[in-house]
Structure 1
Amino acid sequence: MLLLKGQKIDITKGRSLSKLAFQFGWWAANDAMSIDAACFVLSEGNRCEREEDFIFYGNPSAQSGALTHVSLNGADKEAVKLSLSALPSSAAKIAFTVTIYEGEKHGYGMKDTSDMYLRLINEENGEELFRYEYGSDLSKETAIVVGELYKHNGEWKFNAIGSGFYGGLAALCTNFGLEIEEDSAQEAAAAVEETVMSTIDLRKKIVGITLEKKGMTQVAARVGLVLDISGSMLNLYKNGTVQEVVERILAVACKFDDDGVLDIWVYDNEYSRLPSATEKDFEHYVLNHIMNNKKIHKFGRNNEPPVMEDVIRKYTQEEDSALPVFIIFINDGGVAKSIKKVITESAVQPIFWQFVGIGNSDFEVLKRLDTMEGRIVDNANFIHIKDVSAVSDETLYSQLLNEFPLWLKEATDKRIIRA
């Protein structure tokens, strides 16, 4: 299987796997270039908690015996071999990386490489499970987070990332929480800031392509995200799924809003309007502003109308503007029937509600949005994505933005949106 950037696939589900090999290949334009593969074993907090959990040529074996870095002779240059059964229970994710040694010092970047790939091999029978080719869209970067092996619902999955970093190995270590030598700290800190931007830039590019396909490249809008924080959502907050949702929707806000601001609410039977997220502060947003925020009511029952009324209040009273509003509303079921009244009454406002149902509920109320009567325009849409973490960015953005352009035209024709 040849993976695409942003694609997520099951690794262990439906398979009996115990020993894997992640095999890296590349071509360097200059024989003097030194390219290295490595991996970071990460905790639930997306941090490499101990130096020994950074596996590379200088530390080729994990203490647990689960991971080994080896050099290869042939098209495959290096490999990280993994025994799943030996991984400690604290290992939630493994990030696989490639770096150019002292790339900035010598003026090398990913533009000086080609044919970069990662192959996942079942070591027990030699079967190639997938091949991921990456890096062709990079230039001056000196490091790449190739992808991540991560645990989801007790199974291991792989996320094909291919995002470029500036600052080489030092920047990667800083990004994953490891301390580096003092004389490299300032340079690495600056590099990590650029890296965060490049991760968002990847998703912004995908949003841009989606908007181009839908003829929406000139559209400007304010973007809001409403997150269900009722009791059934607890695991999704803990395992990083909600944090990833914030990051993915932020890319939409960056393309629609000149300020690149994503407004965020959470709700259960109460609601909270949270600080907006931007490109520079989205990392650990859920942990910092939600999970560690004692002022937020969490994991109760759901009640949507109050938070929806606050959304309307913000955009039509507190911050009235000629720009339309695109609200992405995440819910995992059990929606109050009284949302129909709020949606109907808000049809005269420049607000479009895009509901996203996640999980296995039947979403009876949300499925009937398109047949609601008594509205001047159809101002709401519903899509169901059972496992949002398994959907590629391309698919997610295409579905999210499918109905919005139709509403924009209709709302403009009805003079709901001011010209």
Structure 2
Amino acid sequence: MLLSKGQKIDVTKGKGLSNLKLQFGWSADSKLSIDSSCFVLSANNRCEKDEDFIFYGNPTALNGGVTHGQASGPDKEAISLCLSKIPESTARIAFSLTIHEGEKFGYSMQDVSNRYVRLMDADCNEELFRYEYGSDLSKETAIVVGELYRHNEEWKFNAIGSGFFGGLAALCTNFGLVIEEEVVKETVEIEKKPALSTIDLRKKLVQITLEKKKMNNVAARVGLVLDISGSMQLLYKNGTVQEVVERILAVACKFDDNAALDIWVYDNEFSRLSAATERDFDQYVLKNILNNRDIHKFGRNNEPPVMEDVIRKYTVEEDSPLPAFVIFINDGGVVKSIKKVIVEASLKPLFWQFVGIGDSDFEVLKKLDTMEGRIVDNANFIHIKDIAKISDEDLYNQLLNEFPLWLKAAKDKRVIRS
């Protein structure tokens, strides 16, 4: 359900909800540091104590009743609510989005796009509604996104979307908090790298997966091939593909000393792009793909040309004893002629991990394991219907399931040079 500004909607009435999560998303240049936060308010519409302001510097309040943290998938940050722990004295909870030091560096909400919040039933991960806000804002540096409030012993949500000048300090003052100069200075000096911390968390998950699979010391070059045919258009525009880049970059960081992810896109044509790294992965898809006029977009599928370019890069242009691990994202319609490319590539130190997303039957890719004529089985296929919803841990476990088996077989057959 999509809310409009000013709309008020029942959240808990007749539903028996106990745990909620508000997940925030936005698009902005990596130079901007953007944060969500919330204010636990009394009937006087004010925070009665400093602890009632929940943000990255005070992530938990009310004995775990409200928790601030990172989100998964295309969402950026999340605020979780355990309604049973929220005291009766709480009349409402206001949620905000702010630009860190926006006025100091000349940034404002007109530099931020695709702002939204999703209210989720945290127990079953079901989206209850979505509110897209802020299209009428310009020079403001903070937004009161909306509020949960009590009504007849139930909780309702008010879609507000009102802008503030003065950033987080102005919001704190509005809700009755006294911001002393020392507190402001301390807050400003807290090291805030939300995007990088997400990568660090994912690298840890990759490391755990590698340890489970006894691949601690494996080194490899990592490539990502992205389908950009017409049916993928929504996934590019809603941030799903950007999230894929970030998740696979964590794999490259653990396998490759250069911590770089090589990227290709293809439809009936293909483009080899600049590598993504921890320094420049934010907004990679927008900057390097969607806003790149040299890239052919949203045509039909034709896999062999881009696969041949991948082989050329890793075995001719950059010949190396290190194997290449290539993750190939596709949402259906793979041409049958990929068989010839895969068979010929079985002599090369290169493993193809195909990932099918969406509802297609993936007839061609399902036959990879029984493909004949190869010196080693150099390709695997997994089907993930909704890649935005799968957890990082599950994704990494599936992605890295067959690669160690190929490494052993390839070494035995001397496909990989020691």
Native 8 Å contact 1:19 1:122 kept in 2: no
Deviations 1:264-297 (A, max 9, x none): 0000000001110111111111111111111111
Q: Compare CA radii of gyration and give the structure with the larger one.
A: 2
The residue number in structure 1 matching 2:274 is 275
Q: Which runs of no fewer than 5 residues in structure 2 stay unpaired?
A: 1-8, 46-51, 55-59, 69-73, 89-115, 121-125, 130-140, 142-165, 170-180
The residue identity in structure 1 corresponding to 2:389 is A
Deviations 1:172-207 (A, max 9, x none): xxxxxx9678x9899959934x44332111111111
1:156 aligns with 2:114: no
- Aligned-partner Cα distance in 1 for 2:44–2:226: 41
Q: Which residue of 2 aligns with 1:100?
A: none
Q: Secondary structure at the match of 2:335?
A: coil
Secondary structure of the 1:389 match is coil
Q: Is the 8 A contact 1:52 1:59 kept in 2?
A: no
How many residues are matched? 306
Structure 2 contact 221–252 (Cα < 8 Å) conserved: yes
Give the structure 2 partner of residue 96 of structure 1. 78
Separation in 1, partners of 2:117, 2:202: 19
In structure 2, what is the equivalent of residue 240 of structure 1?
Answer: 239
Cα–Cα, structure 1 residues 93 and 245, in superposed 2: closer, same or farther, change >3 Å? closer
Change (3 A) 1:372 1:205: same
Partner of 2:11: 19
Under a length normalisation based on structure 1, what TM-score does the superposition of the two structures give?
0.63
Q: 1:345 is matched with which residue?
A: 344
SS of aligned partner of 1:191 = coil
User: Unmatched 5+ residue regions in structure 1?
Assistant: 1-16, 25-37, 63-68, 81-91, 98-117, 127-147, 159-169, 171-177
Residues 305-384 of structure 1 mapped to structure 2, 5 A cutoff: 305-384=304-383
> Deviations along 1:152-181, whole A, 9 cap, x unmatched?
9xx7289xxxxxxxxxxx9xxxxxxx9678
Question: What percent of counterpart residues are identical?
Answer: 59
Residue 56 in 1 paired to residue 39 in 2?
A: yes
Correspondence for 1:389: 388
Cα shift at 1:239 = 1.1
Superposed CA RMSD:
4.2
* 2:94 match: none
Deviations 1:221-251 (A, max 9, x none): 0000000000000111111111111111001
Deviation at 1:23? 7.5
Change (3 A) 1:316 1:195: same
Conserved in 1, the CA contact under 8 Å of 2:67 and 2:81?
no
User: Counterpart of 2:191 in 1: which secondary structure?
Assistant: helix
Query: 5 Å matches for 1:17-416?
Result: 18-19=10-11, 42-43=25-26, 55-56=38-39, 75=63, 95-96=77-78, 118-121=80-83, 150=118, 156=127, 191-192=191-192, 194-416=193-415
Letter in 1 for 2:334: V
Write the distance in 2 (CA, Å) between the matches of 1:74 and 1:55. Answer: 13
In 2, Cα distance between the equivalents of 1:73 and 1:325? 46
Inter-partner Cα distance in structure 2 for 1:53 and 1:204: 24
In structure 2, the CA distance between the partners of 1:244 and 1:93, relative to structure 1 (3 Å rule), is closer
Tell whether the 8 Å contact from 2:355 to 2:382 is kept in structure 1 after alignment.
yes
1:39 Cα offset (Å): 7.5
Q: Secondary structure of the residue that 1:352 maps to in structure 2?
A: strand
What letter is aligned with 1:232? S
Structure 1 contact 347–378 (Cα < 8 Å) conserved: yes
Contact 1:324 1:350 (C-alpha < 8 Å) held by counterparts: yes
Q: Is the 8 A contact 1:40 1:53 kept in 2?
A: no
